[in-house]
Structure 1
Amino acid sequence: MSQKVTQSAQLQCDKGTKLSELKVSSQDFSTFEDKFIATENDAKPNENIFPFGNCKAKYNQSCTPQTQKWEKTTQNDEINNQKIVLETSECLCKTGGKITIINKGHNGKTEAG
């Protein structure tokens, strides 16, 4: 079963040249290992998802994320009516990139819900 993603998860864009870190701003009360759990609303460019270096889809110009929304989130588990981002979730960029999670942001091997 896929695990939830928390603040400081490492993100990778298949069109970017550098990694980025997720910042959770959609909620400030539900945590795992003392880090806020990410929800589908944590997809705002330059607030939650930051540039990935240079963008290969834009001829190596500086990355300016144009993120849409997180896909492949939880089906039934929610925080504040927002689906939870999982380590298998993806976020598409209007420039053509696909953002994936390469580190879920916590060390937990299992979660207690």
Structure 2
Amino acid sequence: MPNYLIDTTQLKCDKGTSPTPLTVTSQSFMKIEGKLQATEEDKQSNTNIKPFGMCSVLKSSCMPSPIKWDNTSDFEIEGKKELLDSSTCQCSVGGKISVVKSAQSFVEE
């Protein structure tokens, strides 16, 4: 079962050297475990997605340039599709942004 992305979920770029947390700003009321739920609109460089260390394409700081989230949920928050742990976002520089680890914590029964 897919997990929904929430604020502080760790993201990685396959062209960057270090992960960075997602910052949710696209909506302010839907929460999971007290953290805002991410939508396809959480793709602003340096606001939602911070640099990923060094970029192997640019050979300099890996400043993300997100285009569009793919593999989103069929469900929406105020007309914006929810992000899942299987969601990816293409960067216009050439990398692919994906989830390192969901910030949701589950208790096994």
How would you bin the TM-score normalised by the shorter chain? over 0.9
Give the aligned partner of residue 93 of structure 1: 91
Instruction: Label 1:57 to 1:86 Cα distance change in 2 as closer, same or farther (>3 A).
Output: same
- In structure 2, the partner of 1:69 is 68
Residue by residue over 1:76-103, the C-alpha shift from the partner in whole angstroms, topping out at 9 and shown as x without a partner, is: x110110000000000100000000011
Q: In 2, Cα distance between the equivalents of 1:66 and 1:12? A: 13
The 3 A distance-change label for structure 1 pair 109 and 14 is farther
- Calculate the aligned-residue CA RMSD, in Å: 1.2
Q: Deviations over 1:44-71 (max 9, x none)?
A: 101100100010011x211111111111
TM-score by length of 2: 0.95
Name the % identity: 40
1:18-97 aligned within 5 A: 18-58=18-58, 60-75=59-74, 77-97=75-95
Question: What amino acid maps onto 1:51 in structure 2?
Answer: P
TM-score by length of 1: 0.91
Residues 1:14 and 1:37: Cα distance change in structure 2 (over 3 Å): same
Which sections of structure 2, spanning at least 5 residues, go unmatched? Answer: none
Contact in 1 for aligned 2:3/2:104 (Cα 8 Å)? no
Match of 1:11, SS? strand
| 1: CA distance, partners of 2:31 / 2:63 | 29
Number of matched pairs: 108
> How far is 1:108 from its partner?
2.9
CA distance 1:44–1:109, shift in 2 (3 Å): farther
The residue aligned with 2:8 is 8
- 2:62 aligned partner, one-letter code: C
1:102 is matched with which residue? 100
SS of alignment partner, residue 57 of structure 2? helix
Equivalent-residue separation in structure 2 for 1:66 and 1:44 (angstroms): 8
